[in-house]
């Protein structure tokens, strides 16, 4: 009887320790990956008001996202394009105007950080039809912007293996685009992150893929578009 009591007590203690270890691991992982990071900004900025209530497109302020690797931050001219006439009686807008008139810029605090030694190109993903919310969360509901996802390699790989964004991107190519690409592969940015394999050849090599359709379409460059985005190491770690 006594042995059974101490045995049960020890099992209970082990379970409590395991639970605390799991909670501690998840908390530490989130801290390490900046999940929940919501820094104070020089001027409070509500994405809920701008992107949510007023339906301002993300690319209006972060226009560099469709042109290059970095989404960038809006210029002072971007802000003043609206706030030279909108909400000019508000204290924060008056502060914004004062900084602008002094010829200075607001030093916004960066929120989202990628893991070390990784490369992410916004242009590729925006052009492929990936929604901003996929990585950044529902910013249209965020009064204070913060990082909500870990942005880990596993998240990227899972999306690449299960998405058909490559087909959406290719479907928007005009005949003129295809002719240009046939002459110069650099005009096909998605070729950098889409495998040059057919669905059949992938299966024959034992590569597990998610089949999106049954067609193997040959591109003007002479390669076949794979049905998912690439998971090759050098795409993100170059």
Burial class (CB in 10 A: 0-12, 13-18, 19+), 61: buried
Q: What is the pLDDT of residue 151?
A: 87
Q: What is the pLDDT of residue 204?
A: 55
34 falls in which pLDDT band (50, 70, 90)?
Answer: confident
Q: Tell me the per-residue pLDDT of 116-157, one tens digit each, with 9 for 90 and over.
A: 888 898 988 887 778 899 999 999 999 999 999 888 888 888
Instruction: Tell me which of 168 and 33 has the higher pLDDT.
Output: 33
Q: Is the pLDDT of residue 214 over 60?
A: no
Widest distance between CA atoms in the chain = 84
List of residues 6+ apart from 83 with CB closer than 8 A: 93, 96, 97
**DSSP notation for 81-141:** HHHTTSSTTSHHHHHHHHHHHTT----PPP---PPTT----HHHHHHTT--THHHH--GGG
Q: What is the pLDDT of residue 153?
A: 86
């Amino acid at each position: 009887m006594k042995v059974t009591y101490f045995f049960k007590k020890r099992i209970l203690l082990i379970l409590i320790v395991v639970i605390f270890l799991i909670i501690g691991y998840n908390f530490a992982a989130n801290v390490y990956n900046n999940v929940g990071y919501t820094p104070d900004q020089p001027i409070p900025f509500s994405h809920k008001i701008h992107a949510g209530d007023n339906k301002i497109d993300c690319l209006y302020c972060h226009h560099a996202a469709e042109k290059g690797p970095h989404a960038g931050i809006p210029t002072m001219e971007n802000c003043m394009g609206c706030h030279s006439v909108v909400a000019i009686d508000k204290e924060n807008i008056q502060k914004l105007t004062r900084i602008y008139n002094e010829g200075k810029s607001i030093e916004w605090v960066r929120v989202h950080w990628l893991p070390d030694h990784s490369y992410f190109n916004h242009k590729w993903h925006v052009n492929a039809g990936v929604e901003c919310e996929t990585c950044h969360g529902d910013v249209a509901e965020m009064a204070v912007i913060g990082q909500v996802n870990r942005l880990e390699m596993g998240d990227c790989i899972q999306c690449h293996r299960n998405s058909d964004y490559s087909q959406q991107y290719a479907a928007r190519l005009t005949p003129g685009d295809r002719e240009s690409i046939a002459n110069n592969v650099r005009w096909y940015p998605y070729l950098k992150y889409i495998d040059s394999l057919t669905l059949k050849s992938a299966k024959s090599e034992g590569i597990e893929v998610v089949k999106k359709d049954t067609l193997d379409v040959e591109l003007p460059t002479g390669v076949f578009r794979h049905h998912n985005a690439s998971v090759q190491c050098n795409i993100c770690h170059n």
